[in-house]
């Protein structure tokens, strides 16, 4: 994110689906400013290849890091000339009607050959504004409501208000988000991940070894029968390792969810319990003072 631009200065997190990249042609009096870009580890894949819904292994085989940041969103400003030197002709139906009658057709707006103060914002991902990328739907007391998990909407509102010439609301919306994480939950998550990490790494090594052996068999010159038996064995090993990996990851997620739920319920129950204890102590203190006052009154009489 461009931290020096008013649109993206207060943006912390953006969720992007399948983004393209922007390239620019140097034109006189035209300025382009990068707002959002990738890291140097990002790469490009062909659109037709992505539409085939490739497997993760196929994606890794095709992926090549670009080594330089790729521009995802940018603002274009300056003097921009129209690609058309003359205004467009009227539609054929209107032209025929105007020719057949003595009345003139509705005049077209004045043709603008160039603009001196263009402000164009381009984002190379149309799915960026889809709710599923930045909103988590939750249900509370039978009502559905969305909780933002990314700043996609903030980016859009900042852009609209900036284009309209208003920056007051941007400064308010762009303030740093105050995060109060459950530190105990994060500690428990780290412990659970360390417990399962060794199993996960071993299974990943099994998957990598089986995949390498399958590739070697496909490239080798072994007999058909021997290659078939070997490939069948390694495919079975690959399937078993992937099943075990999914089971380990499911166990990890289940443990993390259980620990988080326990901590959450403790936090929820603590406040009412403290209020109850405080109320009991207050009632006991008042009863004690009342008895003390009654005893003093009886002694005086």
What pLDDT sits at residue 226?
62
Give the pLDDT of residue 178. 45
Give 93-97 contacts, CB < 8 A, sequence gap 24+. Answer: none
What pLDDT sits at residue 71? 92
Residue 168: per-residue pLDDT: 52
Q: What is the distance between the alpha carbons of residues 25 and 260, in angstroms, rounded to a whole number?
A: 51
Q: At what angle do helices 224-300 and 183-219 cross, to 10 degrees?
A: 180
Walk me through the domains of the chain, giving residue ranges and CATH numbers.
Answer: 183-292 (1.20.120)
CB atoms within 10 A of CB 159: 20
From residue 249, how far is each of 193, 199, 238, 245 by CA, in Å?
9, 10, 16, 6
Distances (CA, A) of 172 to 4, 9, 157: 16, 12, 12
| Residue ranges in the chain modelled with pLDDT below 70 | 90-108, 140-142, 165-189, 191-193, 195-196, 214, 217-231, 234, 300-301
Amino acid 229: pLDDT: 67
**What share of the chain in percent tops pLDDT 90?**
2
Cβ neighbours of 186 (radius 10 Å):
11
DSSP letters, 245-287, are HHHHHHHHHHHHHHHHHHHHHHHHHHHHHHHHHHHHHHHHHHH
Nearest to 240 by CA among 205, 199, 207: 207
Residues 6+ apart with CB under 8 A from 256: 188, 189, 192, 193
How do residues 7-16 score in pLDDT, each as one tens digit?
887 888 888 8
Contact 12, 117 (CB under 8 A): no
| pLDDT score for 289 | 85
């Amino acid at each position: 994110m461009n931290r020096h631009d008013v649109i993206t200065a207060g943006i912390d997190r953006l969720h992007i689906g399948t983004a393209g990249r922007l390239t620019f042609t140097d034109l006189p009096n035209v300025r382009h400013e990068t707002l959002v870009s990738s890291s140097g580890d990002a790469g490009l894949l062909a659109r037709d290849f992505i539409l085939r819904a490739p497997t993760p292994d196929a994606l890794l085989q095709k992926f090549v890091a670009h080594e330089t940041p790729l521009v995802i969103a940018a603002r274009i400003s300056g003097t921009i000339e129209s690609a058309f030197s003359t205004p467009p002709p009227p539609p054929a139906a209107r032209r025929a009607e105007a020719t057949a009658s003595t009345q003139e057709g509705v005049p077209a707006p004045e043709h603008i050959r160039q603009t001196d103060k263009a402000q164009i914002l381009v984002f190379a991902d149309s799915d960026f504004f889809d709710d599923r990328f930045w909103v988590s739907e939750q249900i509370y007391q039978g009502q559905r409501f969305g909780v933002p998990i990314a700043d996609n909407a903030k980016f859009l509102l900042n852009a609209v208000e900036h284009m309209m010439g208003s920056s007051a609301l941007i400064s308010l919306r762009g303030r740093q988000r105050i995060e109060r994480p459950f530190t105990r939950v994060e500690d428990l998550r780290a412990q659970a991940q360390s417990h399962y990490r060794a199993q996960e790494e071993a299974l990943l090594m099994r998957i990598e070894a089986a995949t390498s052996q399958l590739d070697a068999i496909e490239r080798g010159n072994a007999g058909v029968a021997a290659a078939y038996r070997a490939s069948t064995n390694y495919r079975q090993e690959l399937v078993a390792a992937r099943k075990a990996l999914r089971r380990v990851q499911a166990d990890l997620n289940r443990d993390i969810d259980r620990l988080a739920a326990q901590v959450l319920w403790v936090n929820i129950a603590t406040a009412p319990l403290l209020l109850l204890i405080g109320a009991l102590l207050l009632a006991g203190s008042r009863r004690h003072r009342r008895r003390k006052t009654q005893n003093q009154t009886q002694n005086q009489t």
